[in-house]
Structure 1
């Protein structure tokens, strides 16, 4: 009997939509998996400790984990018009955040990396304290005055108005306007020790799972909503529509260019270690 692979991804609609078919053993020929749900800050830590066979992580964590893990060319989250937002209680300018406290979902998140690249040119002197919170706690913390601003991801793009909050800046708009590339957010990685053939099998399984979800969206709906933390079904649909796209099926040239561009720029600013020339190759 084939050993079951250990995989961890978030309970967010895009991940449960993408992995529904594989998680329910309906992808023909796919290796069986045991799923653990975890927030992105947790999975980033798992990757740094070498835990689990397959993980959904932030692209920002890749420079620390690519010796042990390979980037898979599918299953992740890239796109346009889907970047993290900086939210505040009232209107203002980026300069108003100088010395202030901002909540972020993870210090190794792509969102935070994009924020740091933006802040380097927009916030004189930089922010003050950076506070890591689970992403679903960030908007309440901003609303209640526990922090001065919040960096939000996922469905917060559709719901921040419900908290009476203001979008001070869109990190995705800044990235796209300065690079012309899609926004790299979440990556799927797998242990290199599994071997090149197994890594290709995993990529095939993910692509098939994505296509099955697109072909029959209703099949995954109960699974998606069961893990969506009481999210409005319409918001879940918006979430999937934004984050599951052609880059989920295959990174392609633009996808890889976006990943290299993000990590190269971040390394030039001293924010992450530099990547080797073959670091993104699966072999």
Structure 2
């Protein structure tokens, strides 16, 4: 009997590849045969709007738009303290007056864009770019400011760029809660058992990666924008934590506060999928 196939769409950033590494490398027992598509986060957001994949990583800022079709899997999220995007500049800035500036944003549906508007609600010319094009655009002088996510937040200084504001820290100080960046979604209309098995497989994959960091490093390097082992492992340490394994406690508070800011007030029971039969 053939094994059912499930497609997963994710970003090539180290934390997503780390979470999926046990599945990609076929190192864990699974209920399904998995295939993978990798794309930048804004492309993933657009694919989710089209309901293109049964399991897909998206920005939490997008989730209210796809709530009718997807639930958030309780494993796989990037969420916590000290994980936010960074606003950087080409030249040192003394005053927060950006009226004549151009800012590079890694997508209009991203949590990074929401956080930039939360920090700076005034008018400014916005240029939407794939996340990996923002530092090059700054260095060319095409933009004056850039919102950095993924590996960019760890390497901007070596390019002579200046930190203007840690947008995650700004959020945390204002709301006193951890910041939810993005998570894996699963089709809402899947049978409960199927969603449980996908969640179980994702957790097994993450636990494998935690136990075998050195073994999964070549896979992370293959997909990373910055191949430095130090940058990759700093990335994992920053974005993969206990909340990645399971959304609970402070993580649920952070999600609730974040969604309320977006005027999305659904009960988490209706949109976070956690196993209801004890499978882990």
Report deviation, 1:275: 4.0
Question: 1:270 — aligned with what?
Answer: none
Q: Partners in 2 of 1:230 and 1:130 — Cα distance? A: 25
Q: Partners in 2 of 1:221 and 1:106 — Cα distance? A: 28
Contact 1:175-1:183 within 8 A present in 2 as well: yes
Is structure 2 residue 204 aligned with structure 1 residue 213?
A: no
Q: Which runs of 5+ in 2 are unaligned?
A: 275-280
1:59-98 pair list within 5 angstroms: 59-93=60-94, 95-98=96-99
1:15-65 CA distance string (max 9 Å, x none): 111101012332213321100110000000010000011001100110000
Report deviation, 1:98: 2.6
Per the normalisation by structure 2, the TM-score is: 0.92
Q: 1:265 to 1:238 in 2, by over 3 A?
A: same
Question: 1:7 — aligned with what?
Answer: 8
Q: 1:146 to 1:199 in 2, by over 3 A?
A: same
Give the structure with the higher percent helix. 1
Question: 1:31 — aligned with what?
Answer: 32
Helix, strand or coil at the partner of 1:150: strand
Contact 1:78-1:184 within 8 A present in 2 as well: yes
Q: 1:94 to 1:52 in 2, by over 3 A?
A: farther
Q: 1:31 to 1:93 in 2, by over 3 A?
A: farther
Is structure 2 residue 278 aligned with structure 1 residue 282?
A: no
Helix, strand or coil at the partner of 1:252: coil
Question: 2:227 — aligned with what?
Answer: 231
Q: Which runs of 5+ in 1 are unaligned?
A: 121-125, 268-273
Contact 2:102-2:145 within 8 A present in 1 as well: yes
- Give the number of aligned pairs: 272
Question: 1:261 — aligned with what?
Answer: 257
